[in-house]
């Protein structure tokens, strides 16, 4: 079934087409959800909410662009909605506990595998993680992020900077442990 037929059948309520749509896009979308979630269960919830919206609003997809890109946008919006709904319940790192002036090599983050970076991103406090993903991964501007999350541009910039600093510190500490364990005793 081609994409247009798949959409038509989904709009008719064809369960098999809906299942095919889900199975085609869920693995990729789960990766997106994992970047915004603290754990796999939260990512699955975001994915589920996202696909509910996909099926509900599929009739608004106008075919101007790829269906996958349209679904991706819905998943990001679902992750942001989850963030807005839960941000007051999640604890943030105290600013004093983070060393913001790390002397790290600029390539530190770029040397990680995508899987390792995702694990580290998931450890970040919710606000830092969300802004890091929106800016560094999705390509949003700080102005766009400030509008989307109802925060100031300065807050977006500082949280992004702090997220990078925390990630660098995690990587440096991991590298120190690796270097220490490799030394002869």
Question: What predicted TM-score, i.e. pTM, was given to this entire model?
Answer: 0.68
Tell me the C-alpha distance between 97 and 184, whole Å.
33
Q: Does position 31 have pLDDT exceeding 50, yes or no?
A: yes
- State residue 98's pLDDT score: 36
pLDDT band at 95 (very low <50, low <70, confident <90, very high): very low
In this predicted structure, what is the pLDDT of residue 83? 87
Number of domains the chain contains: 2
Backbone dihedral angles phi then psi of residue 87, each to the nearest 5 degrees: -60, -35
Q: Which residues span the domain enclosing 18?
A: 1-86
User: Does 13 lie in the same domain as 39?
Assistant: yes
Rg of the Cα atoms in the chain: 19
pLDDT in tens, 115-151: 777 888 888 988 899 999 999 888 999 999 999 888 9
Whether 7 and 79 share a structural domain: yes
């Amino acid at each position: 079934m081609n994409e247009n037929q798949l959409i038509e059948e989904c709009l008719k309520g064809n369960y098999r087409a809906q299942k095919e749509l889900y199975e085609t896009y869920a693995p990729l979308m789960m990766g997106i959800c994992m970047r915004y979630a603290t754990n796999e269960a939260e990512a699955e919830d975001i994915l589920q909410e996202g696909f509910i919206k996909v099926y509900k609003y599929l009739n608004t997809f106008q075919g101007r662009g790829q269906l996958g890109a349209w679904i991706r946008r819905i998943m990001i919006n679902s992750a942001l909605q989850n963030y807005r709904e839960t941000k007051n319940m999640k604890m943030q790192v105290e600013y004093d506990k983070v060393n913001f002036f790390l002397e790290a090599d600029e390539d530190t983050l770029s040397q990680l595998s995508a899987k390792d970076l995702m694990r580290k991103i998931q450890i970040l406090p919710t606000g830092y993680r969300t802004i890091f993903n929106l800016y560094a991964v999705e390509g949003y501007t700080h102005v766009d992020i400030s509008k989307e999350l109802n925060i100031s541009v300065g807050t977006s910039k500082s949280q992004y900077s702090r997220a990078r600093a925390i990630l660098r510190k995690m990587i440096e500490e991991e590298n120190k442990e690796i270097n220490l364990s490799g030394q002869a005793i």
